[in-house]
Amino acid sequence: MTEKIPIAKGLKIKWNGVFDFNDLYRKIKFWLEWNGYGDEKDLEKSYTEKIKPGGKQIEIKWAAENEISNFAVGVIEITFFAIGIESVQIQKEGQQIKSKKGDIEIRISGHIELDVKDNIIDKIYKKYIIKNEIEGYKIDFYDDVMKIHDEIKSYLTLQQY
């Protein structure tokens, strides 16, 4: 039986304007891989792209997992919602470069999954023996979720054109 412990829910980052979508995508993916949250082939759970009159609409869902211990896994879920995405040419440092313009919302949540059997011995083990260890996992995992959140916010703020 897997028990989910919610750690962070409902974190949102909204951005409207010019941004490099491909670079943002790569940067987040690299951070997750670097910090032990799986690799590219296991990351993406769904990708939807629609062409609308006002620009592209993209929805991407990721679930990145990091084995914390032999009975605990941290899962960071990231969902990208991008609407009105259009290609634009911008001037940066005297050069014309291609970029994207539109609205993007990134939602982040995280939870820890405990692999606990539904018997009295495992319940006692979890409640009394490894309780402090689980509390430490919660704190460390919360820090990771906030780090990726802050990394994304910093990237979008620094990429102003």
Selection from 108, 53, 42 nearest residue 80 by Cα? 108
pLDDT tens digits, one per residue of 111-135: 999 987 777 877 788 888 888 999 9
Distance in Å from the first CA to the final CA of the chain: 49
Q: How far is CA 32 from CA 5, 27, 76, 118, 156, in A?
A: 20, 9, 9, 32, 17
Q: What is the pLDDT of residue 60?
A: 95
Q: What is the pLDDT of residue 160?
A: 56
Q: What is the pLDDT of residue 5?
A: 94
Q: What is the pLDDT of residue 115?
A: 86
Total structural domains in the chain?
A: 1
Q: How many C-beta neighbours within 10 Å does residue 11 have?
A: 17
Q: What is the pLDDT of residue 26?
A: 92
**Residue 141 to residue 146: CA distance in whole angstroms:** 9
CATH code for the domain of 135:
3.40.198
Taking only the tens of pLDDT, the chain with its 161 residues reads 788 999 999 999 999 988 888 889 999 999 999 999 987 678 889 999 999 888 899 999 999 999 999 889 999 999 999 999 998 888 878 888 888 899 999 999 999 999 877 778 777 888 888 889 999 999 999 999 999 999 999 988 876 55
Domain membership of residue 67 as a residue range: 2-158
